[in-house]
Structure formats: C-alpha cells, structure tokens
Structure 1
Amino acid sequence: MDLQLSGKKALVTGGTKGIGRAIVEGLAAEGVAVAFCARTEADVKETEQAVRAGGADVTGTAVDVGDGAAVTAWVGAAAEQLGGIDIVVANVSALAIGGEAEHWRSSFEVDMMHTVRMVDAAMPHLERSDAASIIAVSSVSGREIDFAAGPYGVMKAAIVHYIQGLAHQLAGKGIRANTVSPGNTYFDGGVWQNIEQNMPDLFAQAMALNPTGRMGTPEETAYAVVMLASPRAGRITGTNLVVDGALTRGVQL
C-alpha cells in the first residue's frame, strides 16, 4: 500500500538511536525528506551518513532539546532547508527514573517542554501543509504505575494529555495529533540492554511481564509512527496508540 508520504517533510528528535533512528529510517524509506537531531555530534554524523548511503534525503543536527532556544532555532532552520514541515515527531526523553528534584526538572524540560516548543515552532509551517501530522512518543509508563513511576511516568502521561488537547484544538485546521506508547523496547546500547547486563533480576521481572515472551524492537514502534504520519490515517487523530505486545492490562475506552 502506498502510504502517500513521498515528498513530505518531517522533523524527528532523538534520531540517532533506538526508536528515533528507526523512525528516521522508516520515514526516509517512504520518500520523506527528514531533518533529525540528537545531542551527540558523532552519533548525528554517523546516522546521517548511514541513512544517506541508501539514497535517503536526511539531514542531522546536534541539538540539546533541553535548550528551548536551540530547539526553536533548529526547527526554523530545518523548515527553511526542507521548504516546509508536514510531520513533527517528538521522540526524546531524559529517561529520568527516581524522585530527585533534578530528575523532575530534566523530565519536564526534556520530555514535556521539548515537545511543546517543537510543536510551537513548527506550527506556522504545519498550518500551511495539506497533510500535517504531530506525533509524540510517550510510553506505557504514562498509562499505568510501574517501576518508572515518578517523573518519567508523569511526564509521559502529560504528553498524552497535551497531544490529545492539540488534536481537538487543531482539528478544524486539518492538523492531526497522536501519541504512540511503546512498551519495553530492546536494542543494542539501549536502556533494557543495560538493565540486562547490570540488573539481571529487574530484567527477568520485566521479561516475565511480556505475554509474547519478548520485548519489542524499535522498528515495531517506528511502524506505528510512520503509519500515523501517513495521509491515509487522515481520520486518526487524538489517539494514543499502544505498541506493547499486550504488556499493559488497562482497557482504553
């Protein structure tokens, strides 16, 4: 099926590893011109070169999304380079587990406010698009109490609320807004690989909660994001798409 994404223009934060990189690759494979950012310059360059090697139109920039002015400047520069913005994917998380004040601050600035600032900066361009889509990557930790209860879970829940509010506010302008909430996602260099190596008991507990007997892959979550970005999903807005292999048991009504 043609997802009708060819020629569209997208921004993706946290695009060098895990889910973010899989989103960049997934959109690029559909013919989307992608501008992505991440904090580490070396990772940005490696990802840009690797994805471009397949003929994709991607551009990476080193940006600390906890810096509001830097996010706004990057969105403006990327929009100018791309010639507009159709798709915004807010993916970065501080991954702050624990109740220290520093973790609350970093979760607010990185998880929540980077999403808000990115959307605000992109809005003038989205309003000119004929297929505008906003997608934020949340987490199942935002919809149930688990080991990440505290700043991480709270901010992930707040992102869902924010995005669903946008869906209602922007529906009349033809701008869609959705969240994707992945469950445990395993990849090289990721959080769960680190837990597997350094906290095997916690890893075993987490694995036991997965009815499928495995954790998810970045590509499985990226598929959900790419599908929601597609104009074919034109009737889907204000939803929180859970991608967790039946990990969570809460019923979405």
Structure 2
Amino acid sequence: MDLKLKGKAAVVTGGSRGIGRAIAETFADEGADVAVCARHADQVAETVKALEAKGVRAWGQAVDIADKDAVQGFVRGAADALGRLDILVSNASALVQGVAEEDWRAMVDVDLMGAVRSFEAARPHLEKAAAATGDAAFILISSVSAAEATGASSYGAIKAALIHYAKGVAREGAAKGLRCNVVSPGTVLFDGGVWGQVRDNMPGFFEQMIKRNPTGRMATPEEVAAATVFLASPRSAFTTGINMLVDGAISSRVNF
C-alpha cells in the first residue's frame, strides 16, 4: 500500500534510538523527508546520516526537550530545513516511574510540555500543509501504562494526560484537516531500552512479563513505528482523536 508520504516532511522528537528511530526510518522508507532531535549530538548525526542514505532529505539537532526555547527553535528549524512540515511525532520521554517531585517535574517538562511546546511551534506549518493538501498530522506516543495502574506513577499519569490533550487538539483541528492521534505501545524490546535492560539484568522478571502477554513476546520498535506511520499518513485522513493501542493484547480493557 502506498501511504502517500512521498514528498511529505515529518519531525520526530526523541528520534535517535528505539521507537523514535524506527518511526523516523519508516517515514524515510516511505519517501518522506525527516527531521529528528535527541539529547546527544553524535546520535543525532548518525541518525541523520542513516536517513539520508535512504534517499531522502534529513536534518537533526541535539535538543533538551525540557527547554522551551530549544524545542520550539528545533521545530522551526526543521520546517526551514525541509521546506515544509506535514507531520509531527512527539516521542521524547523522561521515562521515569517514581512519584518524587523531581520525577513529576521531569515527566511534565519532557513528556507533556515537550509535546505541547513542539505542537505550538509546528501548528502554523501543519495548518498550512493541511490547507494545501487536505491533511496534516500530530501524533503523540503515550503508553498502555496510561490505563494500567498498580500503584502511583508519574509516568502513567502524564501519559494519560497526553491522551486527553490529544482529543482536544483533534476536535479543534478537525475542520482544518489537522489530525491528532495517540499511539500507546505496550512492552517494547530493543537493546539498550528499558525492557532490554530488564532482560539482561533481571531475567526472572523479564520472563514474568513475557508470560503476561497473550502473544508470548514483546513488540519490536518497528511494529510500533508501522502503526504510527500509517496513522500519520493521508491513508488515515478520516481518523482523528483516537488512542491506538499497540500492545499485543496485554491490556484487558475494552475500548468503546
């Protein structure tokens, strides 16, 4: 299926590794130009080089997502470098589970306000693209943890806030062709990631988590990326305001 992404331009925050890197590469595989940011300049440079090798334009910058001016400057720079902006994917996360004040602050500053600030910078470009082509998309990466609670968690609570925020953005943007959706992964396994570290250091707990999933395994970043890129593409032009679970049925809730 042609996702109609050739000639489009996508921005992916937290795009140098894991799910974000897979999303950026999937966009490039579909012919879209891509801009990425992450904390480490060397990882960003390597990612940009890999994306360019796929035959698309790519641009990147080392950014602290908690820095308002930096993240908004990155989005504006991406639009200038690529010449347009059709898609924004907010993937960057502080990845902290605790409930200490610094944990809440990190999740708010990176996951929530990082998404809000990047969207506010991207909105004029996305609205321009939607007016010209009929479709533009803002995708937020949340988590199945937003709806699964075994105890207090800054991570789950802020990931849930993203879903509420996205619905409001979707309602506001619908008449303009500016869509907003959420992708909520379950457990995702890759080397160096959270579950990769658990596999290497806590094999007993890792096996317990594997058994919890009816599929008998965890997702790959590429599987989450495939769902994200399809949802961001013009092939999903009438889908907005949803929270797409990509969790292998590890959650038991029913979505109505």
Q: Same fold (TM over 0.5)?
A: yes
Which of 149, 152, 171 is 1:145 aligned to? 149
Map 1:116-195 → 2, pairs under 5 A: 116-129=116-129, 130=133, 131-146=135-150, 149-195=152-198
Task: Using structure 2 for the length normalisation, give the TM-score.
Answer: 0.96
How far apart are the structure 2 equivalents of 1:202 and 1:104?
Answer: 26
State the AA in 2 paired with 1:100.
A
State how far apart, in whole Å, the 2-side matches of 1:194 and 1:56 are: 33
Contact kept? 2:9, 2:85, Cα under 8 Å: yes
Deviation at residue 146 of structure 1 after TM alignment = 4.3
How many aligned positions are there? 252
Provide the residue aligned with 1:251 in structure 2.
Answer: 254
Equivalent residue number for residue 105 of structure 2? 105
The whole-number CA distance in structure 2 between the counterparts of 1:5 and 1:146 is 40
The structural deviation recorded for 1:56 is: 2.9
For 1:163 and 1:89, the matched residues in 2 are separated by 12
Moved over 3 A (4+): none
Residue 198 of structure 1 deviates from its aligned partner by: 2.1
Residues 28 and 54 in structure 2, CA contact (< 8 A), matched pair in contact too:
no
Partner of 1:233: 236
Distance 1:248 1:34 in 2: 32
**Map of 1:1-253 to 2, 5 A cutoff?**
1-129=1-129, 130=133, 131-146=135-150, 149-253=152-256
Taking only the aligned residue pairs, the percentage that are identical comes to 51
Aligned to 1:128, the other structure's residue is in SS state: helix
Deviation at 1:195, TM superposition (A): 1.2
Are 2:28 and 2:56, in contact at CA under 8 Å, matched by a contact in 1? yes
Q: Give 1:199 deviation, angstroms.
A: 2.5
Gaps of 5+ in 2: none
User: 1:143 corresponds to which letter in structure 2?
Assistant: A
Mapped partners of 1:219, 1:178: distance in 2: 18
Structure 1 length as normaliser, TM-score? Answer: 0.97
CA RMSD, Structure 1 to Structure 2 (Å): 1.1
